[in-house]
Amino acid sequence: MPDILDFYAQTHTPYLHARGRRGTGLLLNEIGEVPGEKILELGFGTGQTLVDVAGRRPECELFGVEKSEIMMQVAAKRLRFCRLNRINLFMANSEGALPFPDDTFDVVYAESVLAYLPEAEIRAVFFEVYRVLKNRGVFLLNESLWRKHVSPETMDTINRECVRLFGMPQAVEQIPYPEDWVSLAGQTGFRHEKLVHLTELPENPNFPAFPGSFCSGLFTLGGRIKKNLSHALRLLSAQYRESERSFSRFGLFLEGVFFKFSKPDDY
């Protein structure tokens, strides 16, 4: 089965993370509170959150790094369509190194990018993010992690099935729970600032439309129309939906978690 992320790229799908647009609302509130001028998104997918952050922090310089070429092409199209030409997009380096000097960013954020990667790659990304953040900079993450009742055997079964059916695992087994991510951040040097279980989203995490939202919505709609007009994409969509249904036997096994970490000041 083809990688589901390629399908999402071809259909311009936005908000591929826990609680979708509402989860991004929480992220934008946090970004709104951080002073500074440089912001980096890791794994921007089809580029919707870059549009939202550009609206929330128009005075900032925005950067993005993405691993998938097809996501990169689609996000670049979205940004051109929204006339957001000032956002700097980079392909991810295959060794996981970020193409920026030390102490560059005030905020680095990622939405559903790290938890499905291999453990070693997650650890490497934490070190790279720490390196490129300025002192007092913040690292914001929305990740889907295993619920406490899920046994290691079930995690393994689900991951194998997901690789077979969707071309990617569901979530890392070696760093399974929120507290494991907090301790990974601590080992990297970060200070833990906040953890929100996204099942308990605070009030009104939705956000108003920004300049660019309308064009971005049209771009998303274009992807949906493309899907409906393409027999191959419709077929794939039906197959993925059917596969998703086969996971209902496991009940709820993931939860969305929002983390805020900061890089301590040296002084």
Residues that bind ligand SAM (CB under 6 A): 5, 14-17, 42-45, 65-68, 71, 92, 96, 111-113, 117, 125
User: Least separation, in Å, of the C-beta of 112 and ligand SAM?
Assistant: 4
Which tokens sit at 202? 């605070």
User: Least separation, in Å, of the C-beta of 232 and ligand SAM?
Assistant: 21
SS3 category, 65: strand
Alpha carbons 243 and 231: distance in angstroms, whole number: 18
Alpha carbons 24 and 54: distance in angstroms, whole number: 13
User: Least separation, in Å, of the C-beta of 173 and ligand SAM?
Assistant: 17
* Nearer of residues 77 and 191 to ligand SAM, judged by Cβ: 77
Alpha carbons 132 and 129: distance in angstroms, whole number: 5
* Nearer of residues 45 and 169 to ligand SAM, judged by Cβ: 45
Q: What are 110's strand-pairing partners?
A: 42, 141
* Nearer of residues 43 and 178 to ligand SAM, judged by Cβ: 43
Q: Running DSSP on this structure, what letter comes out for residue 263?
A: P
User: Least separation, in Å, of the C-beta of 92 and ligand SAM?
Assistant: 4
191 phi and psi, to 5 degrees? -100, 140
* Nearer of residues 106 and 143 to ligand SAM, judged by Cβ: 143
